[in-house]
Amino acid sequence: MGERREVFPQEAAPANLSASRDALQLSAYSSREREGFYARTGKRIFDLLLSIFGLILLAPLLLVVGGLVKISSSGPVFFRQRRVGRNGNEFQILKFQSMVNGAERAGRGITADGDPRVTSLGAFLRKWKLDELPQLWNVFKGEMSFVGPRPELPSYVREYTPSQRRVLRVRPGITDPASLRYRHEGRILERSADPERLYRERIMPEKLSLNLEYLKQVSFGRDLSLLFSTINSVVRSSHAKETD
């Protein structure tokens, strides 16, 4: 789990991608000098303290959910998948398994509502975002933040333009402004004849645009607001589904 890889490794990347990765790292260093205390240091302190508190407080829930996943599925309790993090380095994101075993090899990298790969328990976990709880460990390790651009698959990140790659200057997050805007992303994808194309050509660019705007105004107050808005959105969306 501790192994990290670069999304544009030296031995496999064309010269232009290696140059892009190097430029990204240099840009991150120079931009860090212009950041305030919270963005440079306070955000990581906040993430570390809150992740420790969350892991302790939610330990019983994590054990219960893990047990239910183990009982209801023949696969592993945790779903691990390589995502692209800060400075283009890959890491393994953690989630509770919500799909049939081997689902990532039997379909798209995105999930629409009604996806047959999702188990019955998995649908419930996704509805309440409980499948995301193991990412508290990613936050604790410093691979993720509570608030920041959601980490994407390497195959998607390779399509980023140079300006879009600026989202890789920071740690990816559990939530972000784009997650709130596209809280019903699964429904949008379900209605599309070509969900993969819709995601790549419309949804992903709009998400990146929203997250680039977020990076211009990172602050403790804004992060708290996004966290509370995310919790409120999950509760409201889940109740709405129950009344559909």
Domain residue limits, the chain: 5-243
What pLDDT shows up at residue 12?
44
Position 18 confidence tier, pLDDT thresholds 50, 70, 90? low
Are the CB atoms for 52 and 136 separated by under 8 Å? no
Among 138, 136, 134, 135, which Cα is nearest to 51's?
136
Asked if the model's pLDDT at residue 5 lies above 90, the reply is: no
Phi-psi region at 176: left, alpha or beta (left = phi > 0; alpha = psi -120 to 50): beta
Amino acid 122: pLDDT = 96
- What value does the mean pLDDT take over residues 116-144? 96
Q: Tokens in use for 243?
A: 């009344």
Question: What are the φ/ψ torsions at residue 147 (nearest 5 degrees)?
Answer: -125, 125
pLDDT at 77 over 90: yes
| Per-residue pLDDT tens over the stretch 62-72 | 999 999 999 99
Mean pLDDT score, 99-113: 82
The whole-number pLDDT of residue 104 equals 76
Residue 240 scores a pLDDT above 70:
no
pLDDT of residue 20: 56
Q: CA torsion, points 41, 46, 49, 55, in degrees to nearest 10?
A: -130
Residue 27 has a pLDDT of: 59
Residue type, 237: S
Residue 108: the pLDDT is: 78
Q: How far apart are CA 211 and CA 173, in angstroms?
A: 11
Close Cβ partners of 188 (under 8 Å, ≥ 6 residues apart): 182, 198, 203
177-229 pLDDT, tens digit per residue, is 999 999 999 999 999 999 999 999 999 999 999 999 999 999 999 999 999 99
Q: Say what the pLDDT of residue 60 is.
A: 98
Three-state DSSP class for residue 93: strand
Give 13's pLDDT tier (boundaries 50, 70, 90): very low
Quick one: what percent of the chain has pLDDT higher than 70?
82
Structure confidence by residue, pLDDT tens digits, 139-187? 999 999 999 999 999 999 999 999 999 999 999 999 999 999 999 999 9
Beta-strand runs (E) in the chain: 5-6, 78-84, 89-96, 145-147, 173-175
